[in-house]
């Protein structure tokens, strides 16, 4: 397979780039604002940019779209920018995929649900409650509507190895390793199923290899709230100094509403791949710190 990955300097895209190469695929990964050694420039908002990697000449079999504006609260007050970076970028890549006769993979989120009746299966009714969520849903529906055999992977609370270490777990680990005191004010009523980006990449490869299409929920064996997630990470650093302040989502007064009971039931994927073993926070941290 020849695969082009948009947003390959990020968490999911970077892990996909690494895993697909290891599996023998011919892969090119792109960046827009943050360059890494193994990525090329591509501006999804300006497909005619003179410095863009020539996707058409690469002739990809698959285009994986990992890029989006993921700052949920920022999106709530910057609606136009949110639309451009999440929806318009997808519209542009769909056009590129059609021109290349390539399949498309879109990375979506549990925020397409309202968080009242989670965790969710793929056939659960969607009900976005924030600008970010509305735009992610609009983009995933566009891909499914416009692209034959499109694949949508919904993921949430993604963690794992990342060049910038921006994800929630990585930031806690970094501060613990540096012996910095942490102050964590976290919601105790937001639940999700965190997923290792490496597992997402491995699952995506199998789905592409087997020509699967439609929506798949990808999670792990964990289902926990943000306080529990932080404490699980901190348990690997018994000498860590921290203040952890549990707080309700309502009391956090964030600009964008959050789904409370989010996360996934990954029955569809696990039924089709019963021998696939997902990791969790503990297996990830043990692999890094040997505890």
| pLDDT single digits (tens) 33-91 | 889 989 999 999 999 999 999 999 999 999 999 988 999 999 999 999 999 999 999 99
What's the first-to-final CA gap in the chain, in angstroms?
Answer: 38
| pLDDT for the residue numbered 115 | 97
Q: Name which residue leads in pLDDT, 201 or 220.
A: 201
Bridge partner residues of 195 (DSSP) = 158
Number of other residues whose CB lies within 10 A of the CB of residue 193: 26
pTM: 0.96
Indicate the SS3 state at residue 10.
Answer: coil
The vertex-239 CA angle with 237 and 241, nearest 5°, equals: 100
Number of other residues whose CB lies within 10 A of the CB of residue 131: 23
What whole-number distance in Å separates Cα of residue 106 and Cα of residue 57? 22
Q: Predicted confidence band at 157 (pLDDT cuts at 50, 70, 90)?
A: very high
DSSP 121-147: -TTSPP---SHHHHHHHHHHHHHHHHS
Q: Is 90 exceeded by the pLDDT of residue 243?
A: yes
Number of other residues whose CB lies within 10 A of the CB of residue 212: 16
Find how far residue 96's CA is from the centre of its chain.
22
Are 111 and 127 spatial neighbours (Cβ–Cβ below 8 Å)? no
| pLDDT single digits (tens) 226-242 | 999 999 999 999 999 99
Number of other residues whose CB lies within 10 A of the CB of residue 219: 28
What whole-number distance in Å separates Cα of residue 247 and Cα of residue 110? 22
- Check whether the bond before 89 is cis (ω within 30° of 0): no
Helices (DSSP H) in 168-210: which residue ranges?
A: 168-177, 197-209
What domains lie within the chain, and their CATH numbers? 2-158+192-217 (3.40.50.720)
Tokens of 261: 């009971």
Strands 158-159 and 182-187: unpaired
Give the mean pLDDT of 157-180: 93
In the chain, % of residues over pLDDT 70: 100
Q: Is 70 exceeded by the pLDDT of residue 291?
A: no
36 to each of 10, 29, 45, 181, how far by Cα in Å?
9, 10, 20, 30
User: Could you write out the three-class secondary structure of 98-118?
Assistant: HHHCCEEEEEEEHHHCCCCCC
Which residue, among 16, 19, 22, has the nearest Cα to 30 in the 3D structure? 16
What whole-number distance in Å separates Cα of residue 31 and Cα of residue 52? 10
DSSP 83: I
């Amino acid at each position: 397979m020849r695969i082009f990955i948009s947003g390959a300097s990020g968490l999911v895209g970077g892990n996909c780039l690494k895993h697909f190469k290891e599996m023998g695929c011919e892969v090119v990964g792109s960046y827009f604002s943050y360059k890494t050694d193994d990525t090329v420039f591509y501006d999804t908002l300006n497909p005619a940019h003179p410095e863009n990697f020539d996707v058409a000449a690469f002739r990809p079999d698959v285009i994986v779209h990992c890029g989006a504006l993921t700052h949920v609260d920022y999106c709530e007050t910057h609606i136009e920018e949110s639309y451009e970076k999440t929806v318009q970028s997808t519209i542009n890549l769909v056009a590129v995929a059609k021109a290349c006769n390539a399949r498309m993979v879109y990375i979506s989120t549990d925020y397409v649900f309202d968080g009242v009746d989670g965790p969710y299966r793929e056939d659960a009714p969607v009900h976005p409650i924030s600008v970010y969520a509305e735009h992610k849903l609009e983009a995933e529906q566009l891909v499914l509507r416009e692209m034959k055999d499109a694949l949508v992977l919904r993921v949430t609370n993604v963690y794992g190895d990342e060049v910038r270490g921006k994800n929630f777990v990585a930031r806690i680990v970094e501060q613990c390793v540096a012996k910095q005191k942490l102050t964590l004010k976290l919601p105790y009523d937001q639940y999700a199923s965190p997923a290792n980006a490496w597992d997402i990449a491995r699952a995506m490869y199998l789905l592409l290899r087997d020509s699967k299409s439609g929506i798949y929920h990808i999670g792990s064996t964990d289902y926990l709230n943000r306080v529990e997630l932080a404490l699980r990470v901190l348990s690997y650093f018994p000498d860590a100094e921290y203040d952890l302040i549990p707080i309700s989502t309502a009391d956090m007064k964030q600009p964008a509403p959050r789904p409370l009971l989010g996360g996934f039931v990954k029955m569809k994927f696990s039924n089709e791949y019963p021998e696939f073993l997902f990791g969790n926070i503990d297996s990830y941290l043990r692999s890094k710190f040997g505890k």
